[in-house]
A and B are shown apart, each in its own frame.
Chain A
Amino acid sequence: MESAHRMNTILEVRDLRLRRGDRTILSGTTFSVARGGVAALMGPSGSGKTTILRAIAGLERFEAGSITLDDITLRGGESHPAAILKKVRRRVGLVFQFHHLFDHLSALRNVTLAPTHVLGTPAAAAEQRARELFDALGIAHRASALPRELSGGEAQRVAIARVLAVDPPLLMMDEPTASLDPSRRHELGELLSRLAGQNRTILLTTHDEEFARRWASAILRVHDGAIT
């Protein structure tokens, strides 16, 4: 039974505790995410949603608790070893709320940089894959644009393509609906469903109750750094 649960769980967060100075950000957060589908972390601003995603991506040290991604575990109280972080980052990708595209590179190069330098994909193959992703996301015409020339929605799609190019089984998105109008939100929902159908799990944070109800297969509510 336990192993069957394990098989179906891509992410398990246990008793995650994190403080910044004397402020408690996470106070024993515990939840798990089943493989496949779209899971939404919901909660008011300042409830620790973003910090949870950052901790899962290996960007935050935490005092106590553990984060297990398949067979890899990040533990609290210690700085994460480089070898573990490397494995974590093959399993999980993060689309930041403000995208953080590399300003000096075109949209296309933003997407091909990691495959060529991290995965060792030949440049031509990386470019072909990037162009396929751009086609699928409807931004093929923006391939040579610089980040500062992209609209918010376009930048978000480039950021999604950048993460998908390294093909992580868990795709996390921080507040993806925040800067989109209702019709764009609908398009995003459809895209996420499509991605979730491709043997991929989506974990996102959002304030948008309606979006979560319409598109998420699981909703986790965060309150004061704990899942309620």
Chain B
Amino acid sequence: MCGRFSFARHVLAMAGAVMLCVSTNARAQSQELKWAGDPEGGAPFVEADPADPNRVTGFDVEIAELIAKGIQRTPRFLFVPYGSIDQAIERGTADIGLSGMEDTPARRAAMATTIPYYAFREVLAVRDADAGALRRLADLKGRRVGTLGGTIAYEILLQGERRFGLEAVSYDDDVHPYSDLLLGRVDAVLLDNVLAERRRKSMTGITVQPDAVAISHYVGVLAARNASLRDAANEVLRRAMRDGTLERIFRKWGVWNDDQPALYASLVAREAVAAVTLSGMDEPIGVGTLGRWQATLRYLPSLIKAAGVTLVLSCLSMAVAVMLGVLIASGRVYGSALVRLALTGYVELMRGTPVLLQLFVIYYGLASFVKLPAFVAALAGLALNYAAYESEIYRGALEAVPSGQLEAARTLGFTETQVLRLVRGPQAFRIALAPMTNDFVALLKDSSLVSVLTVVELTKQTQIFATNLGSWVIPGSLCAAIYLLMSLPLGALARRLERRWKAPTE
């Protein structure tokens, strides 16, 4: 009785505490300005403070503070990966995205963007030795040019593929394009002058070409339903343009230049500013200005091509993984103690560390010893990782074949190799088939990780499409449909093989 009473009291106390929390939270939320950024972008945008990694610093941090103060709110930083900031804003995780967000026609159409607060130039960076020969996009015919995927620069490079015959290479971050430039994996990098200058200062051997390929801006990104908050932020920004606050911030971070006063003058005078101004190209960039269905039609061929990359990469990786897996499993079942120990170590290492890390090590970590092409590194990474999993399936399957059958085969005079080839192997393979099919479907999807090595496969292409369209609905559905189209026949094939193998092998 006493127990029940105290339990009820406990529940009441809990409920009270929860209600108190909710109401406090609601009050706190109304006073906060939650802003999303990605510290991986680093200085001068947003970076973890070297003195206190729990804090962030950068000009975007100061602009967030400026806007928050202007509308009497407290800024609260939320870490969101750069490529997902639009989605995070759309679903209400944060109020505003500030992380070197580009002013694109698609973003203007799909989201509520603030007025631009910084004008940047898309500039080409090349190796010092090529500074004289590679000055413009037109000089890059047949050459590989790297940039951050899903950006204006990437769209420009895709146009450059059609117009100048160059090859666009998409990266997931803005550091590796420059290190690969020095390694010779790409011949040029097209990115914002802010990023290019930062790399030129920290790496030797890079020349940044002075002519801008395009001009665009950084903006704050809000959800379309938040237009009133956006208007309030715009007024704060205009005031900061007039009173020199923005100039002080950008000077502090060493990125103030003559492009900004001209931009601010237009904005303060409430003149329209084009999202992107291209030099030397006639088509508008991106697909944001097209209807969604037209954009889909335009992207479909590249999605299908990317699906081909996914399929070829997965099939080849799986083939190598199966071969290695069989060898590892045989070594673990038949090998000496030393061989077994080494192979167990390999399996545990590959299963115990993330495949993403392994891909990074193979492509970037080993680059000073062996410069593997991206596709080969991706293939090797996936194959080596999956070989560990496959070997465990085969080892289990080999050990599942009843030992009595193996002894029967030995007494009939078969050699150990014949026992494996004629009795143990075929039965183990049948046991392994279902988990193997399962793994292949998993590999088909895990292959999306190789986009970190600049391989544009289905998921990466979808992400690029979605960023440029400003919506995930159509690209996401198409992507899912294509993955299903690839994985469903595999399941059907496996079921057919299993059925066939239930019949005797006469």
Contact A114 B414 (CB under 8 A): yes
B504 contacts which chain A residues (CB < 8 A)? 105-106, 109, 144-146
Cβ < 8 Å to B, chain A residues 84-107:
86, 89-90, 92-94, 96, 98, 100-106
CB nearest to A143 among chain B residues: B506
Interface flag for B50 (CB, 8 Å): no
Contact B506 A117 (CB under 8 A): no
In whole Å, how far is B427's beta carbon from the nearest beta carbon of chain A? 5
Interface flag for B334 (CB, 8 Å): no
Contact A118 B505 (CB under 8 A): no
Q: Mark B413-434, 1 if CB is under 8 A from A, else 0.
A: 1100010001100110010000
B contacts with A, residue count (CB < 8 A): 21
Contact A102 B411 (CB under 8 A): no
In whole Å, how far is A196's beta carbon from the nearest beta carbon of chain B? 20
In whole Å, how far is B406's beta carbon from the nearest beta carbon of chain A? 9
B501 contacts which chain A residues (CB < 8 A)? 104
Interface flag for B410 (CB, 8 Å): yes
Contact B505 A109 (CB under 8 A): yes
Interface flag for A48 (CB, 8 Å): no
Interface flag for A108 (CB, 8 Å): yes
CB nearest to B423 among chain A residues: A102
Contact B411 A108 (CB under 8 A): no
What's the dominant secondary structure at chain B's contact region?
A: helix
A42 contacts which chain B residues (CB < 8 A)? none
Q: Mark B390-419, 1 if CB is under 8 A from A, else 0.
A: 000000000000101101111111100010
B404 contacts which chain A residues (CB < 8 A)? 96, 98, 100
Q: How far is the CA of A93 from the CA of B409 in the complex (A)?
A: 11
Interface flag for A113 (CB, 8 Å): yes
Of A58, A98, A114, A145, chain B has the most CB atoms within 10 Å of the CB of: A114
Contact B506 A166 (CB under 8 A): no
In whole Å, how far is A12's beta carbon from the nearest beta carbon of chain B? 20
Interface flag for A125 (CB, 8 Å): no
In whole Å, how far is B273's beta carbon from the nearest beta carbon of chain A? 73
Q: How large is the interface on A (under 10, 10 to 19, 20 to 34, 35 or more residues)?
A: 20 to 34
Interface flag for A34 (CB, 8 Å): no
In whole Å, how far is B453's beta carbon from the nearest beta carbon of chain A? 41
Q: Which of A92, A94, A102, A106 contacts B506 (CB 8 A)?
A: A106
Q: Which of A58, A96, A109 contacts B408 (CB 8 A)?
A: A96
Cβ < 8 Å to B, chain A residues 114-144:
114, 117-119, 144
Contact A58 B505 (CB under 8 A): no
Q: Which of A96, A100, A108, A113 contacts B422 (CB 8 A)?
A: A113
In whole Å, how far is B181's beta carbon from the nearest beta carbon of chain A? 56
In whole Å, how far is B426's beta carbon from the nearest beta carbon of chain A? 5
A59 contacts which chain B residues (CB < 8 A)? 407, 410-411
Interface flag for A163 (CB, 8 Å): yes
For the complex with contacts A106-B504, A106-B506, 5 further pairs of A-B residues with Cβ separation under 8 Å are: A58-B411, A89-B410, A93-B411, A102-B427, A166-B413
CB within 8 Å of A: which residues of B?
A: 402, 404-405, 407-414, 418, 422-423, 426-427, 430, 501, 504-506
Instruction: List 7 A-B pairs, minimum CB-CB distance, nearest first.
Output: A106-B504, A100-B404, A100-B408, A114-B412, A118-B413, A89-B413, A94-B411
